[in-house]
Amino acid sequence: MSEFTNKVVWITGGGSGIGRALAHEFARQGAKVAVSGRRVERLEETVRHVENLGGEGLAVQCDVTDEEQVIIAIQKVVDHFGGLDVSIANAGFGVGGKVEDLSADDWRRQFDVNVVGAAITARHSLQHLRKTDGRVVLMGSVAGTVTQPGNGAYSASKYAVRAIGQTLAMELADEKVSCTLVQPGFVSSEIGQVDNEGNFHDEWEDKRPQQLMWSAEKAAKTIVKAIEKRKREFTFTGHGKVAAFFGKHAPGVVHHAITKFGG
């Protein structure tokens, strides 16, 4: 039996990319899976696949920038399944553009989803996770340790998520609830097809380096193992670990490399 057999897992941003893949992987391991997001049809598609895998699924529409919606979504999950064991703050997107080109609204939109959304998801999950000695998971990024031109807003949001994860792990140190900060490198998702307003464009090409890309399914298997082990901070892929190392320990080298050779 898996560690997650009959456990209740709630995933925000569960209609696509890593969130959807995590829902499928947890279902394979016998968990009861709830997914939230703005696009109901995508959530229902995820739930259908969860059920095809023999699991129990629940789709709950929720915009993480609205605290009341987050509170209602969590309560629906708890009422439906009887509790909450794992809460994954995965919802997020990227605002692109040079710092001098981004408006205040661009910055607020980026932080409202990636930072405030994650923090509020964690906040309102904790009262339920304490009852089950559960796990809270924050989806950061390698971009939270190293950035590049045109990626300042997204990186700033993930630097902030990293700070929240580190702080929350300290605040929970004397409790049985654990906090895992996940920092992926390049993983196949729809993030490259979403504009600065958060709108999805199916016709857009993902311009991230495909040769470095992990599949969402491979990433999900790796992430679930880290959650199971209650790792405090977990970085992957191989290139992601290298980038994060230099971002933390040799930022001058990163600056020189990117400004000299392009980024």
CATH code, domain carrying 76:
3.40.50.720
- Tell me, yes or no, whether 140 lies in a domain: yes
Is 1 within a domain?
A: no
For 57, phi then psi, to 5°, come to -130, 160
Q: Does 154 qualify as catalytic in the annotation?
A: yes
CA distance 103 to 40: 30
pLDDT at 196: 77
Written as tens digits, the pLDDT of the chain (263 aa) is: 799 999 999 999 999 999 999 999 999 999 999 999 999 999 999 999 999 999 999 999 999 999 999 999 999 999 999 999 999 999 999 999 999 999 999 999 999 999 999 999 999 999 999 999 999 999 999 999 999 999 999 999 999 999 999 999 999 999 999 999 999 999 977 666 777 777 777 766 777 677 887 899 999 999 999 999 999 999 999 999 999 999 999 999 999 999 988 64
The number of CA neighbours under 13 Å toward the Cβ of 171 is 12
Residue 3 lies in a domain: no
State the residue range of the domain holding 213.
8-261
Structural domain includes residue 246: yes
Q: Within a domain: residue 112?
A: yes
pLDDT score recorded for residue 197: 78
Domains contained in the chain, number: 1
* Residue 2 belongs to a domain: no
Active-site residue (options: 81, 154, 186, 234): 154
Query: Is residue 44, in this structure, part of any structural domain at all?
Result: yes
Establish if 90 belongs to a structural domain.
yes
C-alpha distances (whole Å) from 241 to each of 86, 143, 180, 211, 238 are 25, 11, 16, 16, 5
Query: pTM of the predicted model, to two decimals?
Result: 0.92
Q: How far apart are CA 199 and CA 9, in angstroms?
A: 27
